[in-house]
Amino acid sequence: MNTRNGFTLIELLVVIVIIGLLASIGIASFSGSLDRAKEGKVVSDLKEFKDAITRLKIDTGKAPTGKTDPRVAPIPTGQPRPYTDCVYNVEVYLNSDDAGLISDTTNRYPNWAGPYIENAPVDPWGTNYYHDSDYTCHPTTKGCEGITDNKTIRAILSAGPNKSFSYGVVGSTADPTDNIVVPICIP
């Protein structure tokens, strides 16, 4: 009588191959989940910033702006723009004092009653969030879906995994489509 006390080499190899295939599927699934979780955090952070900007607007009537406002009249250089201006060419990092969300040591925001956000986190890729008052949307950019291609809007955004707030050509190394955008004003 022939009794078997173990597995053949072929059986062991088949089991190892199956385990390897299952592990690779699991790892691929996990990495996709990690990317989606990072994008979800960005969207959540951007919505919190949008709420903070709305509260700043209610108190001061102003939008976050940098010190380099190119429009001299009727607003003096360096003064925040009226919130009614939907699109204009001034950008600012949302964690900077110029944004007026955490503090207003520059006294540029009348009736400032903040802070409007407890802290200004960086995105999951280590880049500061950005208020861009003349962002050019592309339909493949997350948050710009349904907006006409090359439409200029006011938005807050993350530079995404490539860490570039680029206005480059879609498909190039400066591809803007990995940016994650929350529109504030669409003219």
Q: Is the pLDDT of residue 49 over 50?
A: yes
CA distances from 101 to 9, 85, 153 (A): 66, 19, 21
Q: Is the dihedral of CA 86, 92, 94, 99 positive or negative?
A: negative
**Distance between CA atoms of residues 32 and 21, nearest Å:** 17
Asked if residues 100 and 59 have their Cβ atoms less than 8 Å apart, the reply is no
Mean pLDDT computed over 150-157? 88
- pLDDT of amino acid 67: 56
List the domain boundaries for the chain: 11-185
Asked if residues 70 and 90 have their Cβ atoms less than 8 Å apart, the reply is yes
Considering the entire predicted model, what is its pTM?
0.72
Instruction: Classify residue 80 by its DSSP letter.
Output: P
**Distance between CA atoms of residues 56 and 150, nearest Å:** 28
**Distance between CA atoms of residues 39 and 177, nearest Å:** 13
Query: Which residues are paired to 183 by β-bridges?
Result: 155
End-to-end CA distance of the chain: 87
Mean pLDDT computed over 159-165? 81
3-state secondary structure of 44: helix
User: Mean pLDDT lowest for which of 17-26, 43-52, 119-128, 172-181?
Assistant: 172-181
Q: Is the pLDDT of residue 152 over 60?
A: yes
Strands (E), 30-100: 91-93
Can you tell me which residue has the tokens 């990317």?
Answer: 35
**Distance between CA atoms of residues 78 and 69, nearest Å:** 6
Of 79 and 19, the one with more pLDDT:
19
| Single-letter amino acid code for the residue at 156 | I
Q: Is the pLDDT of residue 165 over 80?
A: no
Q: Which two tokens stand for residue 171?
A: 């498909």
**Distance between CA atoms of residues 133 and 51, nearest Å:** 16
Tell me which fold the domain 11-185 belongs to: Glycoprotein, Type 4 Pilin (3.30.700)
Q: Is the pLDDT of residue 47 over 90?
A: yes
pLDDT digits (tens, 9 = 90+) for 66-104: 654 443 334 444 556 565 567 666 788 888 888 889 988
